[in-house]
Structure 1
C-alpha cells in the first residue's frame, strides 16, 4: 500500500475509531526474511493532517 492510499484511508476514518484502534505495520526484512510488527501512533499536525510515528512503548525488540 502506498503512503498516499494510507493517508486517504486514515482521513476517512471517524476520529473515535482512530483514537481507540491500535495501528501497526508489518515489515519484512529482505536480507533476513524476518517479519516485524511495528506499532504506530496517529498524530495530527497544526493544520489537522494525520501522520504516523513509531510507538516505542508498544514495540518489542
Structure 2
C-alpha cells in the first residue's frame, strides 16, 4: 500500500497537476465568462464520465 501510494502521489504531483495547470491556465487566470463556462463544463463532463466508469466496471468501487 505504501508503494502504490507513493506512485500515485508522484504521478499526480509531477505529471498530472502540471499538465492540467497548463491545460486550464487561461481559465485559471481570467474572469471571462466564456472560459469559466468552458472550464466548468469540462470538469462536469469528466466527473460524469468517471461516474459512468465506476458504475459499469466491476471491482473498481471501494
Is TM (by shorter chain) over 0.5?
no
TM-score (norm 1): 0.31
> Which structure ranks higher in relative contact order (CA pairs < 8 Å, sequence separation ≥ 6)?
1
Query: If each structure's helix is expressed as a fraction of its own residues, which one has the higher value?
Result: 2
**Bigger Rg, which one:** 2
